[in-house]
Structure 1
Amino acid sequence: MSASISKNMKMFCVSCQRFLQRCNVRRFSDGRGYESTMKGWIRHMRKQKHVNFIQLNDGTGKPAAQIVTSPEICSKDVTEGSCITAYGKYQESIAQEQSVEFLAEEIKVHGPCNMQKYPFQPRKIHSHEHLRQFLHLRPKTALTSAVLRIRNTATMAVHKYFQENGYIFIHTPILSSNDCEGAGQLFTVKVSEKNDDDEKKPIPEFFTSPVFLTVSGQLHLEAIASGISKVYTFSPAFRAERSQTSNHLAEFYMIEAELSFTESLEDIMQVMEGLIKSLTREVMETSADDIRFVHRRNSASSDLLTAIDDMIEKEFIRLPYVEALSIVNQICESPELKWGDDLQRAHEKALVKHCGNVPVFVTDYPEELKPFYARLNEDHKTVAGLDLLIPGVGELCGGTLREERYDLLHQRLKSKNLLSTLSWYLELREFGSCPHGGFGMGFDRYLQFLLGMPSIKDVTAFPRWTGRCQL
């Protein structure tokens, strides 16, 4: 771009400048604007006798200029939803709400839109449930495109935090022979093959042992952390939960990290808290316009904005399991919880609300409530495990110190009949093991909180849940 164009672009507002940078600016025309093109999909169109007004959207952000054109150059295919290129120039606008507008002299229609069948009618607010019926089309809507831009910003912010803090990113496998959580909610991988040579001849198994879609990359991260001290992964996970609730998906994304040379849950909590504060601050600053739009669309309350501010500014609360249990029994009318009972989602939300809607770490759970790899505490009743609870969602993260002592881990695996399948995991304790720990965080559930989204199904482009796997 020439120096004269750069100088004149400073006359426009910042949002307009960003939009112009995405356009194909061809040459400086006169003192009023630029000869250029605008490409995208028509979001709104207002027709008058002598002039048409078009709001164009290319999906990368809110449009910065309205297209003004004569009805004569608008063919019958120039409708809401159609894909076009407008040729013309930018000029100063006399409208108070905008500094520039685009005067179109020619419009080329790349793809018309059949408005008789189009499921998203202009200027109509459609429900989340309606949008969900058209997963392949809903990225065209203002709501879904805003959510996906926010998701992109949050994804980059996750990597930014770990990279700036010395972590190495690891691609953990999607196919796995391990049930990390021991919950048994696994998708089993089957190979469908036809033997064309001899139908009676058996087809050999593709793998020599049962294989599943991964529920977590944690065990593989632990293997890496035995040689690289700070690692993380950000990858899909799969759980065959037959749940129709608003905060469960069959396929979702997990942020997981592993730290070597730590013997304190506090070390793990500091990383988790630092990640969430940094992530939230980055998204709220970078995607402010999209956040405001999604909040308005979801009728988010002022309580959500306060909770987001508190998540950034206030220190997270730490509560041992026994204290959390006592508080829940005081504030909830449900049957009294006893030692060894797990907190349900209603208990978690009530506990966070009682603590002023500030995120709460619940630590030192009874041994039977945490997975086999959690490190046994000195009381031999509890383990060094934690959950992070946040407003409106409940559990967001789970973490533990890992049991690095060979004898104790061997005993635990033997009692759960896991010695044969996890012999490699036990072997890590034989060759230079060290105290270590880590955590996992549900990325989609975090976005559900941040956006005030009623259902987790609407924070990802193609949600999968029991009974539904479209496209």
Structure 2
Amino acid sequence: MPIYTPSPPAALLTSSPIIPLITIALVIMASAQRAAAGRNQLLRVPPPIQRFKYSKRVVLKSILDREDKGLAVAGQRVVVGGWVKSRKERAEVDDAPIPTPPAEADDVLFGEVHVQYVPLLRPISGTPVGGGGGAQTLAAKDKHIVVYLLINDGSCSSNLQLVMDSSTSIPGQVVTVGNSILVEGVLRRSWRGRRRVVELIVEKLLYVGAVDLKTYPLAKPQPSSLFLRDHPHLRPRFITIGTVARIRSNLTCACHAFFDDLGIIHVHMPIITSIATGTQSQRFQVTTLLNAADQGHVDLEVFKAAVQEKRSRIDKLRRGGNNKEALVAAEEDLEKSKELVRVLEQRQKTATVYVGEVKLSEDFFGRAVYLSTSAGLHLESYACALSGVYTIGPVFQADESRSTKKLAEMWMVEVELAFVELEDVMNCAEDLLHSLCYSLLATAGNDLKFASKQIDSDCIKRLQSITSRPFDRITYSKALDILNQVKDRSFLTEAVWGTKLSEEHERYLADDFFENPVIVYEFPKEIKPFYVRGNANLITVSAFEIIAPKVGVLVRGSQKEERLDVISKRIGEVGLPHEQYDWYMDLCRYGSVQRSGFSLDLEKMVVMATGITDAEDAIPFPRARGNAKL
């Protein structure tokens, strides 16, 4: 803390002989104060290590995610556990200090190297080490094997290095890559390259969960993301997947905190419903009436023809040469289609069960029911009683798209607010996105640093950009004008009135033109659901989308139609049965209220935050066309 020194009179500064003495004294006092502050800083007691409440184990996050990276807690005795990521052995002289070899990188994207290193030297009795006629042996020099392990317990993206003598073991157990272990030891400071790090000197090996490396699927070096998806129960052991899972958890908790602060109530919604918010072909029907005797046949030629068509499309893109992003997306789409053909060819070799003719009255629910494609309509009924409600849960869509951003099972944050118009709910959705990005930057720093290093170097900058300024807002018509004025690239689909914006249109608007999320509103009523409130021009409706960099449409929302005559007419226009939606029209008959809402795709939010390339890696157990493991 700087010392306040009053200014002496000007005459004294020029004539007094004691000025040099005063100046020297002040300098000495200031130096002493700075030294005392430095000592206090050094003597400041670091926060204690947090032990897990329900065991003696210390989670690695409490050691490695500290500001000092755990250096300040060196010397403490702890019990830690985790899964072994790598193993090294080195022969050392008993009375020599144990050096620390450079540790491997924590992780590489979908290529975490699981290697068991062979010993550099082994103390084999009788093996000569000297030249000439010397009879020295390694055993005579009293050498032993020091084992270096990197472990991770899933609490953070960093690994802790363990140093243990090879004699420290449980009878019959050998610590290898993939083992789970529980150890007790003392933390100490060491060097990793030019960096000071903390490691654990193991004194007791308390538990070993065995692994057979011959059958362990993740012992394979550099496994691909497709290989990992075939082992969804094991893939969270990869640090990349664990990092994504922690960021997803952070986002979920931040959503709850955001709505809780606003007094908006969390309500659980059903996932089985008899109503439709999308087309019949987009729904999964739920039934218990499967007839194994009725067999069907999949026409593989149709799928093979689709593969050929996609190849032709890729050839055209390559000849054009001016849309590399579209080419990459098309190539990924082709690979997925080829994989689907291979799966169907394999399935044809075995019997396949299909649904024959069924009597719905004999079904479990006595009627046709489906997995929910949205909780919005049910959520409105609670908004009309509790004013503001939200839910976080799964929705299901049988989408034929091969996009890397589309899943059959997705998790949505859905919100409905009463006494709210379109602009109000647009503000709420924008505030939610700002809040989620702030939360990640404030509380998930180490995981974001790992994602920036191993997944997408721009992920932190992208989150910072989102929080730095308000979102631009344009009408659907303005969006078409922007797209149709582009001269330096060509789009596969034309941006015309009355059609949905394609993924390449969305990428251009968010990634290239605005370089930030953009809110597009006032869409044609033909491309929006029946329940969206119509505007006075009878052409557009009060709907909006938030298009974000990296992912496209992240949020969809609208003001709902509260006028009974209008909603009844719209249900008839789109060909839905009135009796099926009579309950929904009751919300307009009895105490109708202006209400608005939106939904946020949680997987896309994870993709945008981490930069991971495929939504199947943003969800713990992905369900997509041709993939429903476990």
Match of 1:17 in 2: 49
Q: What SS is found at the alignment partner of 2:568?
A: helix
Displacement after TM superposition at 1:450 (Å): 1.1
Match of 2:284 in 1: 187
Q: Which has the larger displacement, 88-97 or 434-443?
A: 88-97
* Residue from 242, 253, 259 that aligns with 1:162: 259
* Residue from 435, 440, 447 that aligns with 2:594: 435
Match of 1:102 in 2: 200
Aligned AA (1:128): S
Aligned AA (2:605): Y
Match of 1:345 in 2: 503
Match of 1:199 in 2: none
Match of 1:391 in 2: 549
* Residue from 460, 471, 484 that aligns with 1:329: 484
* Residue from 442, 449, 452 that aligns with 1:292: 449
1:376 aligns with 2:474: no
> Deviations for 1:78-112, whole angstroms, at most 9, x for unmatched residues?
11110111123334546664454322122244311
Hey, what's the Cα distance between the residues in 1 that align with 2:148 and 2:50?
A: 21
Contact 1:65 1:98 (8 Å CA) reproduced: no
Hey, what's the Cα distance between the residues in 1 that align with 2:234 and 2:499?
A: 44
Query: Given the two structures, how large is their TM-score scaled by the length of structure 1?
Result: 0.88
Match of 1:85 in 2: 182
- Structure possessing the higher radius of gyration over alpha carbons: 2
Displacement after TM superposition at 1:458 (Å): 0.3
Hey, what's the Cα distance between the residues in 1 that align with 2:197 and 2:181?
A: 23
Aligned AA (2:285): T
Change in Cα spacing, 1:384 to 1:212, as seen in structure 2 (3 Å) is same
Displacement after TM superposition at 1:55 (Å): 1.7
Match of 2:166 in 1: 71
* Residue from 227, 232, 248 that aligns with 1:151: 248
Change in Cα spacing, 1:23 to 1:62, as seen in structure 2 (3 Å) is farther
Hey, what's the Cα distance between the residues in 2 that align with 1:121 and 1:405?
A: 62
Match of 2:119 in 1: none
Contact 1:257 1:439 (8 Å CA) reproduced: yes
- Greater helix fraction, Structure 1 or Structure 2: 2
Match of 2:467 in 1: 312
Aligned AA (2:567): L
Aligned AA (1:69): M
Aligned AA (1:242): E
Match of 1:48 in 2: 90
Q: What SS is found at the alignment partner of 1:72?
A: coil
Displacement after TM superposition at 1:211 (Å): 0.7
1:470 aligns with 2:470: no
1:456 aligns with 2:488: no
Contact 1:78 1:109 (8 Å CA) reproduced: no
Hey, what's the Cα distance between the residues in 2 that align with 1:465 and 1:187?
A: 13
Displacement after TM superposition at 1:213 (Å): 0.6
Change in Cα spacing, 1:64 to 1:349, as seen in structure 2 (3 Å) is closer
Contact 1:10 1:17 (8 Å CA) reproduced: no
Matches within 5 A, 1:118-133: 118-121=216-219, 124-133=221-230
Displacement after TM superposition at 1:183 (Å): 5.9
Hey, what's the Cα distance between the residues in 1 that align with 2:388 and 2:203?
A: 58
Match of 2:155 in 1: 60
Match of 1:5 in 2: none
Contact 1:307 1:357 (8 Å CA) reproduced: no
* Structure 1 unaligned residues grouped into runs of 5+: 1-7, 26-30, 195-201
Matches within 5 A, 1:187-226: 187-192=284-289, 204-226=362-384
Query: Given the two structures, how large is their TM-score scaled by the length of structure 2?
Result: 0.67
Change in Cα spacing, 1:393 to 1:62, as seen in structure 2 (3 Å) is closer
Aligned AA (2:150): Q
Aligned AA (2:580): T
Hey, what's the Cα distance between the residues in 1 that align with 2:81 and 2:196?
A: 19
Hey, what's the Cα distance between the residues in 2 that align with 1:206 and 1:244?
A: 33
Hey, what's the Cα distance between the residues in 1 that align with 2:484 and 2:44?
A: 61
Change in Cα spacing, 1:32 to 1:464, as seen in structure 2 (3 Å) is closer
Contact 1:157 1:279 (8 Å CA) reproduced: yes
Change in Cα spacing, 1:20 to 1:258, as seen in structure 2 (3 Å) is closer
Displacement after TM superposition at 1:249 (Å): 0.5
1:37 aligns with 2:195: no
Hey, what's the Cα distance between the residues in 1 that align with 2:222 and 2:442?
A: 27
State how many pairs are aligned: 446
> Deviations for 1:3-26, whole angstroms, at most 9, x for unmatched residues?
xxxxx99756x7x9357998547x
Q: What SS is found at the alignment partner of 1:234?
A: strand
1:112 aligns with 2:144: no
> Deviations for 1:287-339, whole angstroms, at most 9, x for unmatched residues?
111122123222x243x443321211111010011111111111152364332
Q: Which has the larger displacement, 382-391 or 279-288?
A: 279-288
Change in Cα spacing, 1:405 to 1:220, as seen in structure 2 (3 Å) is same
Hey, what's the Cα distance between the residues in 2 that align with 1:9 and 1:140?
A: 39
Matches within 5 A, 1:251-262: 251-262=409-420
Identity of aligned residues (%): 31
* Structure 2 unaligned residues grouped into runs of 5+: 1-41, 59-72, 93-145, 292-358
Aligned AA (2:238): T
> Deviations for 1:382-415, whole angstroms, at most 9, x for unmatched residues?
1001111011211111111101000000111122
Q: What SS is found at the alignment partner of 1:114?
A: coil
Q: What SS is found at the alignment partner of 1:84?
A: strand
1:444 aligns with 2:541: no
Q: Which has the larger displacement, 207-216 or 96-105?
A: 96-105
Please give the root-mean-square deviation of Cα atoms over the aligned residues, in Å: 2.6
* Residue from 388, 391, 398 that aligns with 1:230: 388
